[in-house]
Structure formats: C-alpha cells, structure tokens
C-alpha cells in the first residue's frame, strides 16, 4: 500500500514510517521539522540525539535496502506543496501526526495557544481538501487524543454516543470536555473530519490515543541511528518517561497534585500496531470511525509507585513527591473509557509490566549523563496570566 506519514520526523511518525517500510509498503514522509524549532523555543531536547530525518532515511536505505520518500513542507501554510506531494505520491493511506503535540506548549501564552490551534486545524483542513481533489478514496488515519474527552462522570465511548432524550434517540458525537488548548485543537479537528465524511464521503479513522510511553521498537533497534525522540521534559515529555528519568537522576518523582488523575496508556509498539490495524482495515466511504487507542488505565500515582518500586530494585534512590498541580484538572474522578474496537481488529497489547519499566530504565541509564535535570519541573501554569 502507498502510505504517507505526515509528521514523519516525530516521536511516533518516524517509527511508523520504518514499521510500514519494513513490512513492504511504499512509504513517504512529510515534515517541516518545526518540532525541532519548538523544542529550542522552550529550551528542551530529547534524551538521545536524533539525526536529521534526511540522514535517517539515507541510513534506512543502507541498512534495509528500502526507500522512504521525503517531502519537506508545512502542511498548514503551504497547501500548494501539500497538493503537489499528493499528486506525486498518490497515497492510499495518510497517517496524520503532523500537529503541535503538547498541552503545556499550548498553554504558555496567547501566541502559542493561537499558533497551536491554527497550525493543527489548518493543517488538517488542508489535508482534507488535498485528499478530496487528488485522492478522494484515500483513508485518513488521524491521531487524536483521549484528552479530547476529559474526565466525564459517565463511561467514555469510542467517539460516538447513543443518546435517548425525551423519548427520542440519536447517535451523536460523544460530547467533549478537553483540558487544554492543544486538546481543544484535536476536538476541532474531529468535528471538521466528521463533517468531511458526512458531506464529501471521506474515509477517516480518528485514533483517540492515550499517553504513549516507551523508547524503542523493532525497527529503532536495527541501527543506533534509528532511535526516535524520547522526551522527558515538562513540555514535550509524557509522564512515565519523566518518572523514569527522575528516578535514574535521583530527582523526586513529581506527582502533580494528588495523582489521582487516571488516563489511558499504551506502549509505542502498540501505537504502531494500532495504526497498522486501522490502515489495513480502512473506514468505509463516508465513515468517521473513532477508536480509543490505549491498552490500560492507570492513575498518575499508580505509575509513580511502579517506577519507584522498579527503580529501587535497580539500586536507585526513588522517592515520590506531590507538587502543586500546574494544570487545572480533577485529581479524583470517575474514569472508565471503552477501548474494544482495536482489540476486536486483532490488537495484542504490550502491557506495562515491571520488565517493561526495567527495560526502559536500562536504555535511559545508558544515556544517564545526558539528562538535564533543569527541564523536568513544570514551568507552564494553566492559570497564569
């Protein structure tokens, strides 16, 4: 299949491109490398240096003999280049990661809020128009987030909700209560995508993904230069990655508030498996299909305790510390999110065991001297003026 990965330079985009290439698909990646710039703006770097995308693609060809095509342009501001790349590659599946991915980044100030929403919303709209003009039967696999739902007091369904109200019924988009301007941008995308399916007959799978953890995949392990970006900082890092780095560096594991915040989590390997399952069993013409993409629910405190335990078994001094919550969110809430569609397609989850945590620790330990302890504490407050 001809698969185009938008955001191919990123934490998930690069492993996805390698994954499909390794399995014999024709793969193209699109990126404008702006994430590297955003990292510099807030002064953070991934734990392990990531070579340029151009370099990794050359190296991939040397190691595997397989080509990955590269288009460097901004999908949000350069629609002409986007259209041309679609005309050139004629994708059958478009895996869309090309968005500003951080909640704290979107909450820094007005400029970062507006640029996050404009970048994400306009980019996705441009993809929809390019698809409609050039490859109307292609399938969009769009990365959304479980954070679109927030923490409602009712069960979270997969994108749609059957509602009975005053004796009448309808199936409507699940009402969203997102927790940051970033999460809101994904809600806006979901609405725009559903409309395109309804009006133009597009095929879309919206993957409402949980918090991803993990460092490597089968492909990243093929060569030292294939690693993907592992962020542990307070802006682009996810919580498990951060706790592991804190434990290894001898920093307290900083739990925001009470730590009762419960979320869905998944291993980066399962991201790839889920995206593959969605790609190989595409949405029907006109279908806006939503999958909740995670494998397990944990509270933040659960995770901290697990990291503390595994870290201690490896000789680290690990200690949990409750810090004031920089976000505005419930710290004690109901959370029961359905996630049966991807298992029904065949997903076999990699669950979070102590062995998985220990393996992540071993990778981080090998790069321990590169940890910058000054980028771990939260700097962005949801309520700051």
The total of other beta-carbon atoms located within 10 Å of residue 23's CB is 14
Which window, 35-43, 115-123, 278-286, 308-316, contacts its own copies (CB under 8 A)?
115-123
Q: How far is the CB of 190 from its own copies (least distance, A)?
A: 10
3-state helix, strand, coil in the chain (%, to 5): 40, 20, 40
Sheet holding 296-299, edge to edge: 211-213, 262-267, 296-299
The whole-angstrom distance between residue 248's C-alpha and the CA centroid of its chain comes to 24
Question: Which residues, other chains included, contact 141 with Cβ-Cβ below 8 Å and sequence gap of 6+?
Answer: 93, 94, 95, 96, 205, 207, 275, 278, 279
CA distance 349 to 268: 11
Here the tokens at position 36 are 């590297």
Residues 315-354 that bind its own copies (CB under 8 A): 328, 334
Q: Which is nearer to its own copies, 348 or 383 (CB)?
A: 383
CB-based contact 49:226 (threshold 8 Å):
no
Which window, 29-37, 41-49, 122-130, 313-321, contacts its own copies (CB under 8 A)?
122-130
Contact flag: residue 192 with its own copies (CB under 8 A):
yes
Q: What is the DSSP letter of 240?
A: H
Contact flag: residue 174 with its own copies (CB under 8 A):
yes
Among 41, 172, 309, 353, binds its own copies (CB under 8 A): 172
Residues 193-212 that bind its own copies (CB under 8 A): 194-195, 198-200
The CA angle 318-360-51, to the nearest 5 degrees, is 125
Among 28, 135, 184, 266, binds its own copies (CB under 8 A): 184
Contact flag: residue 312 with its own copies (CB under 8 A):
no
Q: How far is the CB of 254 from its own copies (least distance, A)?
A: 21
Residue carrying the six token digits 């590169």 = 370
Residues 138-167 that bind its own copies (CB under 8 A): 152-155, 157, 161, 163-166
Q: How far is the CB of 124 from its own copies (least distance, A)?
A: 10
Here the tokens at position 68 are 């990955």
Q: How far is the CB of 157 from its own copies (least distance, A)?
A: 8
Length of the chain: 385
Which window, 125-133, 208-216, 247-255, 344-352, contacts its own copies (CB under 8 A)?
125-133
Q: How far is the CB of 81 from its own copies (least distance, A)?
A: 13
Among 81, 121, 211, 251, binds its own copies (CB under 8 A): 121
CB-based contact 273:295 (threshold 8 Å):
no
Q: How far is the CB of 379 from its own copies (least distance, A)?
A: 17
Active site residue ranges: 145, 182, 186
CA distance 263 to 293: 12
Q: What is the DSSP letter of 374?
A: G
Sign of CA dihedral 26, 31, 36, 38: negative
Q: Which is nearer to its own copies, 79 or 264 (CB)?
A: 79
Q: Which is nearer to its own copies, 369 or 383 (CB)?
A: 383
Q: Which is nearer to its own copies, 1 or 122 (CB)?
A: 122
What residues does 27 pair with on adjacent strands? 3, 68
Q: Which residues bind its own copies (CB under 8 A)?
A: 79, 109-110, 113-114, 117-118, 121-122, 125-126, 129, 132-133, 152-155, 157, 161, 163-166, 168-170, 172-181, 184, 187-188, 191-192, 194-195, 198-200, 328, 334, 382-383, 385
């Amino acid at each position: 299949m001809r698969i185009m990965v938008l955001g191919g330079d990123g934490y998930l985009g690069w492993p996805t491109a390698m994954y499909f290439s390794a399995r014999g698909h024709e793969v193209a990646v699109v990126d404008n490398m702006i994430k590297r710039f955003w990292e510099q703006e807030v002064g953070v770097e991934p734990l392990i240096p990531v070579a340029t995308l151009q370099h990794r693609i050359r190296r991939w060809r040397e190691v595997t003999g397989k080509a990955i095509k590269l288009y460097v342009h901004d999908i949000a501001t350069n629609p002409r280049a986007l259209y041309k790349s679609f005309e050139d590659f004629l994708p059958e599946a478009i895996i869309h990661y090309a968005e500003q991915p951080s909640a704290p980044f979107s909450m820094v100030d007005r400029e970062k809020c507006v640029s996050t929403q404009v970048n994400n919303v306009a980019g996705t709209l441009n993809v929809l128009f390019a698809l409609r003009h050039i490859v109307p039967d292609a399938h969009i696999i769009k990365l959304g987030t479980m954070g679109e739902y927030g923490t409602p007091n009712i069960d979270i369904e997969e994108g749609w909700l059957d509602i009975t109200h005053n004796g009448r019924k309808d199936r409507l988009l699940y009402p969203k209560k997102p927790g940051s301007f970033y999460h809101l941008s994904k809600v806006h995308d979901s609405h725009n995508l559903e409309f395109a399916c309804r009006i133009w007959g597009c095929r879309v799978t919206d993957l409402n993904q949980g918090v991803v953890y993990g460092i490597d995949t089968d492909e990243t392990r093929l060569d030292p230069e294939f690693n993907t970006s592992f962020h542990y900082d307070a802006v682009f890092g996810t919580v498990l990655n951060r706790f592991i780095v804190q434990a290894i560096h001898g920093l307290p594991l900083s739990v925001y508030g009470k730590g009762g915040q419960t979320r869905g989590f998944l291993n980066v390997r399962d991201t790839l498996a889920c995206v593959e399952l969605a790609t190989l069993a595409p949405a029907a013409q006109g279908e806006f299909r939503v999958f909740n993409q995670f494998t397990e629910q944990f509270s933040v405190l659960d995770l901290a305790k697990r990291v503390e335990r595994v870290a201690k078994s490896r000789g680290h001094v690990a200690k949990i510390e409750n810090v004031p919550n920089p976000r505005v969110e419930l710290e004690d809430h109901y959370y029961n999110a359905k996630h049966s569609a991807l298992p029904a397609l065949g997903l076999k989850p990699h669950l979070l065991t102590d062995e998985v945590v220990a393996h992540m620790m071993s990778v981080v330990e090998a790069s321990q001297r590169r940890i910058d302890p000054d980028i771990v504490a939260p700097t962005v407050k949801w309520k700051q003026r």
